[in-house]
Amino acid sequence: MSLVLGLPPSVDQFPGIDILKPGCKIAPDVTLYRHGDRQGDVISVGDSVSLFDSVRLVVGDVSINLNAFIHIGDRSIVNVGCYLSGEGGLTIGEEVLIGPHVRIFSAGHAVHGGESSIYRNELTYNPVKIEDGAWVGGGSTVLPGVTIGRGAVVGAASVVTQDVPAFAIVAGNPARFLHYRDGHSDGL
Q: 188: pLDDT confidence band, cut at 50, 70 and 90? A: low
**DSSP per-residue codes, 23-46:** T-EE-TT-EEEEESS--SSSEEE-
Q: pLDDT digits over 55-89, tens only?
A: 999 999 999 999 999 999 999 999 999 999 999 99
Q: What is the pTM of this model?
A: 0.95
Domains identified in the chain and CATH numbers: 19-109+117-166 (2.160.10.10)
% of the chain residues with pLDDT over 70? 97
Q: Answer whether residue 1 shows pLDDT above 60.
A: no
CA angle (6, 9, 10) in 5-degree steps: 135
Indicate which residues carry an active-site annotation. Answer: 109
